[in-house]
Amino acid sequence: MQNNSAFYCPIHLIISPVCAGSLTVICYAIVIQQLHRKERMAQVPKIRLAGGLEICRILNGMWQVSGAHGPVDHPKAVQAMQAYIDAGLTTFDMADIYGPAEEIFGHFNSQCDAAPPLQGLTKWVPRPGPMDRKVVEKALQRSMSRMQVDSLDCVQFHWWDYSDNRYLHALGHLSDLQQDGLIRELALTNFDTQRLEEITDKGIGISSNQVQYSLIDQRPAAKMEAVCLSHGIQLLTYGTLAGGLLSERYLGKAEPTSRAELNTASLSKYKKVIDGWGGWGLFQELLVALDTVAQGHSCSIANVATRYVLDRPAVGGVIVGCRLGVAGAEHIKDSLRSCSPELELTAQDLRTIDSVLQRSRDLMSLIGDCGDEYRN
């Protein structure tokens, strides 16, 4: 019998030698499976947020189960989460306004054992109105009850209208509730640089700001990145794959214009960004450049698009939308490749990409700073 303590199975002590033989095989299989799982999990690079929470550098985005990306099969979506966990992609991003997303997370969370631990990042997206402590507490309690947790790993706060400065009241209460242990990481989403500085100047500790950041939307590089770097704030990015437009699927394809073609909320959202950025013709040139780079690394266009953003200073993680439970919509292996340290973009790769990017319009002057698209 194996004496190595890692392989030792105490049940052998109380059963017959024949049973012991087959149980040894089962024990070996379980141990080896767990070792493989640990190995895969170790392969996913992680970062630690200011409050100590460790998250994966590729996060699983759950807007895709809100209903705005096609019908959602709740049980299938819950079941589909296991494959992400098994691959080591244990961090999920959701919001109080993403339909059943928090509940899907909660159902999975209540079913699975403690290991490996999941990280559930949610958002609070209130309608402007009074922001007293009771309002804030009620919102957090609702998310906690849906997610079936006793405290929240991370709350990312969104605000629609800066002319109403009650976002500062809300953040003050969120900060107090963080001190009380209800929230681990206090974070923002779609805040611009000016307000991020205003908030940190008031002594409110912010862990991350979730913003749109991709090859086609590089507004965070203008001002946001520098402020994040100086305050130890991580950027978590969305739109990095432009809803899937930044992939081989659209290389050499005619411009999608109809609702049938742009059939998810992401596709129609980011197609508009491409229109403002430079249009479909220039976008095709970008896809050709990305394909050249991708072929040089035997990887996908999505890998290059993700790696480019992951390598930006201040970017802690890239959120990749997952249509959980939809056949053919799982990109786990490819996501693992995107964050693998073996995928390194060279100076020549960056020149190839930049030769197209430099001909695009400046979205900062067209739209404004991060998140302004939600306020203008």
Ligand X SMILES: NC(=O)c1ccc[n+]([C@@H]2O[C@H](COP(=O)([O-])OP(=O)(O)OC[C@H]3O[C@@H](n4cnc5c(N)ncnc54)[C@H](OP(=O)(O)O)[C@@H]3O)[C@@H](O)[C@H]2O)c1
Residues binding ligand X (CB under 6 A) = 61-64, 93, 189-190, 210, 238-244, 247, 266, 300, 302, 319-321, 323, 329, 331, 334-335
| Residue whose CB is less far from ligand X, 27 or 277 | 277
Q: Whole-number minimum distance, CB 243 to ligand X, in Å?
A: 4
Q: How far apart are CA 294 and CA 289, in angstroms?
A: 9
Q: Whole-number minimum distance, CB 4 to ligand X, in Å?
A: 39
| Residue whose CB is less far from ligand X, 178 or 266 | 266
| Residue whose CB is less far from ligand X, 93 or 96 | 93
Q: Whole-number minimum distance, CB 99 to ligand X, in Å?
A: 11
Tokens, residue 299: 């990887």
| Residue whose CB is less far from ligand X, 177 or 370 | 370
Q: How many CA atoms lie within 13 A of 25 on its CB side?
A: 5
CA 60 to chain centre: 5
Given CA atoms 70, 60, 177, 198 in this order, what sign does their dihedral have? negative
Q: Whole-number minimum distance, CB 79 to ligand X, in Å?
A: 17
In a 3-state reduction of DSSP, which class is residue 60? strand
Q: Whole-number minimum distance, CB 221 to ligand X, in Å?
A: 18
| Residue whose CB is less far from ligand X, 27 or 188 | 188
Query: How many residues make up the chain in this entry?
Result: 376
| Residue whose CB is less far from ligand X, 226 or 329 | 329
Q: Whole-number minimum distance, CB 180 to ligand X, in Å?
A: 25
Residue 116: cis peptide before it, omega within 30 degrees of 0: yes
Distances (CA, A) of 85 to 40, 92, 99, 116: 10, 10, 22, 8
Residue 103's contacts (CB-CB under 8 Å, 6 or more residues apart) are 74, 146, 147
Q: List residues bridging with 61 in a β-sheet.
A: 93, 321
Give the closest residue to 353 by CA, choosing from 285, 266, 257. 285
Tokens, residue 3: 């004496």
Degrees, nearest 5: CA angle 264-269-272: 130
Q: How far apart are CA 230 and CA 221, in angstroms?
A: 14
| Residue whose CB is less far from ligand X, 239 or 278 | 239
Q: Whole-number minimum distance, CB 211 to ligand X, in Å?
A: 7
Select the residue whose beta carbon is closest to ligand X and give its number.
61
Q: Whole-number minimum distance, CB 183 to ligand X, in Å?
A: 17
Q: How far apart are CA 268 and CA 125, in angstroms?
A: 22
Q: List residues bridging with 157 in a β-sheet.
A: 124, 188
| Residue whose CB is less far from ligand X, 120 or 244 | 244
Give the closest residue to 316 by CA, choosing from 63, 64, 46, 114. 46
| Residue whose CB is less far from ligand X, 27 or 310 | 310
Q: Whole-number minimum distance, CB 177 to ligand X, in Å?
A: 21
